[in-house]
Amino acid sequence: KRVVVFISGGGSNMLALVKAAGEPDFPADIVAVISDKADAGGLAKAAALGIATFSFVRKDYASKDAHEAAILSTLESLSPDIICLAGYMRLLSATFINAYEGRIINIHPSLLPLFPGLHTHQRAIDAGMTQAGCTVHFVTEGMDEGPVILQTAVPVLPGDTVDDLAARVLVEEHKAYPKALRLVAEGKVRMNGGRTLRDEGGL
């Protein structure tokens, strides 16, 4: 399966996917990395690994539609089977999502449906949560609300700072995302009618 990864920043999740996809038995190849930031740190890291990179800076386009049209046109030439959003800080339009329905996945640093949106670790600490974690989910029109593919929980420890918790979750993100991509690429987990369908053992 051909995979394109979207990033906006350092791309640590993208790197975890690239590393996993380098394993001979992995059912997907990362064919390109796309960013909405020309200076995203992950672009240089991907390029250094010989992966095609593309950046589409929003202010270079007259509208969100034009911005997405440019990305969609490049995607057509890349013909991805799956799109992985990995620290991509921009919402995709319904048009974009429908063009790749059931084939866009995202990683979010909370146990959705708890704490969609930003500052998830601060909110978990403020709420006195004793658990936090990450969720890989299918992308649908709403932000961080698509059907879940895989989740990992971590403890929130007394005295945790945001950085402590973020670091603990990030370690799990780097394990969960490749596992989730494998399941989707193998067809063991798919989205159907807005719900997750799992083959036996597709946990």
Which residues form the catalytic set? 108
Per-residue DSSP letter, 158: T
> Hey, CA dihedral for 65, 66, 71, 75, is it positive or negative?
positive
Lookup: tokens for 72: 């969609």
Q: Give the nearest distance from C-beta 9 to ligand GRF in angstroms.
A: 4
- State yes or no: 157 annotated in a binding site: no
110 labelled binding-site residue: no
Residue number with CB closer to ligand GRF (14 or 43): 14
| Per-position x/- string for 86-105, each x denoting binding to ligand GRF as judged by CB under 6 A, each - no binding | xx------------------
Provide the minimum distance between the beta carbon of 40 and ligand GRF in the complex, in angstroms, as a whole number: 8
Q: Is 90 annotated as a binding residue?
A: yes
Binding of ligand GRF by 12 (CB under 6 A): yes
15 is in an annotated binding site: no
| Cβ–Cβ under 8 Å, residues 33 and 43 | yes
Q: What angle do CA 50, 52, 58 make, to 5 degrees?
A: 140
How many residues does this entry show for the chain? 203
Q: Find the part of the chain contacting ligand GRF (CB under 6 A) among 7-15, 26-34, 49-57, 96-104.
A: 7-15
Tokens 């992995």: give the residue.
26
109 contributes a contact to ligand GRF by CB under 6 A: yes
Q: State which of residues 5, 6, 11, 180 lies at the interface with ligand GRF (CB under 6 A).
A: 11
Distance (Å, whole) CA 18 – CA 13: 9
* Residue 170 in the binding site for ligand GRF (CB under 6 A): yes
Nearest distance, CB of residue 128 and ligand GRF, angstroms: 21
Computed over its alpha carbons, how large is the radius of gyration of the chain? Answer: 16
What are the distances in angstroms from CA 25 to CA 20, 83, 145, 172, 185?
9, 20, 31, 21, 12
Residue numbering of the annotated binding site for (6R)-10-formyltetrahydrofolate: 64, 89-92, 106
By the criterion CB under 6 A, which residues form the site for ligand GRF?
A: 7, 9-14, 86-87, 107-109, 170, 173
